[in-house]
Amino acid sequence: METEIERRLQRSSKKQLVFLIQELTAQHPELSAEIDSTLERLASATEDEYSKLSDDADEQQENEWDTSEELATMDFVRVPEFPPVDLVAYRERFEGYLLRIKQKKSLQPICDDLFAILKEAQQRADREDYYNALDLYALVLDERLAERNATLTSILDKAINEIMPMLQAVLINVCSCIIVTSSSFLTPVLTPEMRKNWLERLFAFWLKRLDRYHVEEDVPEILMEMAWENDLGLLRTIVQEELQRLRQNGTSNIVNFTRQYRTRALEKFLKELPLA
């Protein structure tokens, strides 16, 4: 049975594989002799043997190719150009938003500062400072989930609508890539725990948006594109638990259209989830 890394390697281009080999031999010189030996053996294979190997590989690539899944290596460990994120300072800025709203002052400075934070997150991602970029995105989404003030929630929703395509690109990129490190042969950019946290955060965000706007969202698509095979069980579990909760709370004779809409959306998502 193929591992997740094997599947991702099969989806990689020749250029990406060459770059990976270069990085591996640079960090682990002892592999050079073994790689040379393997290449010699492949080069000396008969034409029929090589043709069969090539045909099998091409057929497998046709069946499994997914352009959203790319292999990246050392680019993800460059020294970032930004200083580390001080999350305490950023949280204090959100407290300032609430104070400004309470004092009935102009909301424009809140919008400007919020977009400045999100712009910094995108700039960090563009410079491959992915972890700090995701910390900033998470800070904004977590504040949205808290729903501490209706006015701030509306401002956050507007801002998140603007940056969702960029956040989607960053999340799918880091979830589909692996890196080479000195302590591990190949490792995901996002650890399983980090990926789990983001899946749960986006799922909760999706439910909040369903209840507030009653419109189709692209969040389910992001969830499925982010998830590795071993994440599908988590997604299935949290959907089923939410459906069970809705059914238990739905015994009243009063029609609740918000609950009905959420239930239909969850059932649709559950059907679209591939089997693990």
Higher pLDDT, 93 or 9: 93
0.85 exceeded by the pTM? Answer: no
pLDDT value of residue 50? 47
Average pLDDT value for residue range 60-82: 44
Residue 73 confidence (pLDDT) above 80: no
Q: pLDDT tens across 238-275, in order?
A: 999 999 999 888 666 556 788 899 999 999 999 999 87
The model's confidence at residue 65, banded by pLDDT at 50, 70 and 90, is very low
Lowest mean pLDDT among 57-66, 121-130, 168-177: 57-66
Who has greater pLDDT, 238 or 16?
238
The answer to whether 153 touches 142, Cβ cutoff 8 Å, is no
Distance between CA atoms of 136 and 63, rounded to whole angstroms? 37
Q: What is the pLDDT of residue 51?
A: 55
- The Cα–Cα gap between 160 and 121 comes to 12
The two beta strands, 178-179 and 187-188, are antiparallel
